[in-house]
Amino acid sequence: MKFTKMQGIGNDYVYINKMEEHIDDEVSLAKYVSNRHYGIGSDGLILIDKSDIADFKMTIYNTDGSEAEMCGNGIRCVGKYVYDKHLTDKEEITIETKAGIKTLQLNIEDGVVKTVRVDMGEPILDPKLIPVKGDTTPLTDLKIKEQDREFIFTCVSMGNPHAITFVDDVDNFDVLKYGKGIESNPLFPNRTNVEFISVKDEGHIDMRVFERGVGETMACGTGACAAVVASIINNYTKRKVEVTLLGGSLDIEWNE
């Protein structure tokens, strides 16, 4: 079976073209290839397939075999994959995901994709749709006690659930200690991605993420978008923000 290993600012996945390869058990394959000791090693498996409603379809599996709705870095890599491998010659393409159809703008230099801009769609702030057990929209004051600390979360969905909390020094924060328990807290019916962020100024935040079904990852595109939404509705930043993650930086803009 042919595969391609790709990463978006350190958020790495194994990519397989389902239009050419046959897979009997996608969940088992995802667990196998993601294993960093016995497999290829990745944050998960992404399958690229034909779609009846978009240019291509993307299916995402986490390292534990659970299916994710959307991945911002993963979909950028899909855009580069399909163009660089000559599956399309379009510079604007649509991708079918479990979070809906996303539009990608490809920036081409010397015949290959240099950068990708993704229209992530409107953030979801209704607790019932995120989903999270809360009453107010937006939900900016969800209190969760995890071990020896109490956190206040803002909850956002970018097609997948995110819980964002603000900390003073994210660089020295123990993400693994607190992330796992929060991810599976009963307040989140489908579990949640957990973002810990420090606001540097109105145009820059630092972020680390405990990704649902994976653990701490180098980056998370949907998480970066959710973190910017949370920063804006809490009046910490303007609408265009640079998000610095362990693997690099993303430019995020929430267009009015």
Give me the tens of pLDDT residue by residue for the chain, a chain 256 residues long: 999 999 999 999 999 999 999 999 999 999 999 999 999 999 999 999 999 999 999 999 999 999 999 999 999 999 999 999 999 999 999 999 999 999 999 999 999 999 999 999 999 999 999 999 999 999 999 999 999 999 999 999 999 999 999 999 999 999 999 999 999 999 999 999 999 999 999 999 999 999 999 999 999 999 999 999 999 999 999 999 999 999 999 999 999 8
240: exposed, middle or buried (C-beta count within 10 Å: 0-12, 13-18, 19+)?
A: middle
Do 217 and 10 contact (CB within 8 A), yes or no?
Answer: yes
Do 75 and 95 contact (CB within 8 A), yes or no?
Answer: yes
Res 13: pLDDT: 98
Written as six digits, the tokens of 102 are 């996303």
Res 129: pLDDT: 97
Res 156: pLDDT: 98
Res 122: pLDDT: 94
13: exposed, middle or buried (C-beta count within 10 Å: 0-12, 13-18, 19+)?
A: buried
Residues contacting residue 190 through CB under 8 Å, at least 6 positions apart = 131, 161
Res 187: pLDDT: 98
Res 256: pLDDT: 83
Written as six digits, the tokens of 150 are 């109490």
Which DSSP letter does residue 54 get?
Answer: S
Residues with active-site annotation: 71, 220
For residues 233 and 139, give the distance between their C-alpha atoms in angstroms, rounded to a whole number.
10
Written as six digits, the tokens of 67 are 């299916």
For residues 165 and 171, give the distance between their C-alpha atoms in angstroms, rounded to a whole number.
14
Cβ of 114: how many Cβ atoms within 10 Å? 10
